[in-house]
Amino acid sequence: MISNEDLHDLAIKIGRDLSDSNKSVTTAESCTGGWVGKVFTGIPGSSNWYGFGFITYSNRAKLKVLGVKKNSLNTDGAVSEGVVKEMAIGAIDKTGSDYAISISGIAGPTGGTEDKPVGTVCFGIGSKNKLNSFTKHFKGDRDEVRKQSVFFALNELSKCLQ
């Protein structure tokens, strides 16, 4: 079970790594509703490396705020690696940040399909020049899926910064 302390410890490590390299990160969150941003802003001094966070829960927000292409949403759906890549690039473009985390998923308990069951979460993590995308399938209730998503995103960003 992932604890709040686990999230906090990862965020401290990320903050240290970003500070040491004089870099910054932005977030573009959907199903996690700002949880990554909450973890980051729980670290004193995080404004030195985390200045922007977008909660783009609806497709409309993804389009208007981050510049996700309508065709991508219509063709692949909001929960897709293509869309999270566009979310991450849009967040970097809007903020000038060096790195981004984007997350879009189906936390449940409803909304899943045969192709994308509840617990399906897509991530875009990295920089504009090296952006990785992932699709994970988490088990548990809504909060458990969301917390696992936050942990996965933080862990992947930490690896990216090494």
> For residue 16, what pLDDT band results from cuts at 50, 70 and 90?
very high
Total domain count, the chain = 1
pLDDT of the residue at 155: 98
> For residue 91, what pLDDT band results from cuts at 50, 70 and 90?
very high
pLDDT of the residue at 15: 98
Pairing of strands 25-29, 99-105: parallel
pLDDT digits (tens, 9 = 90+) for 145-161: 999 999 999 999 999 99
State the chain's mean pLDDT as an integer: 98
Q: Which amino acid is at 146?
A: R
pLDDT of the residue at 62: 98
The torsion angles phi and psi of 77, rounded to 5 degrees, stand at 90, 160
Q: Which residue has the tokens 């390299």?
A: 21
pLDDT digits (tens, 9 = 90+) for 100-156: 999 999 999 999 999 999 999 999 999 999 999 999 999 999 999 999 999 999 999
pTM for the model: 0.97
Domain enclosing residue 99, as ranges: 4-160
Integer-rounded Cα Rg, in Å, for the chain is: 15
pLDDT of the residue at 40: 98
Q: What is the CATH number of the domain that holds 136?
A: 3.90.950.20
Give the percent of the chain with pLDDT over 70.
100
Positive or negative, the CA dihedral 127, 32, 68, 152 is: positive
Q: Which structure tokens are listed for 148?
A: 């696992």
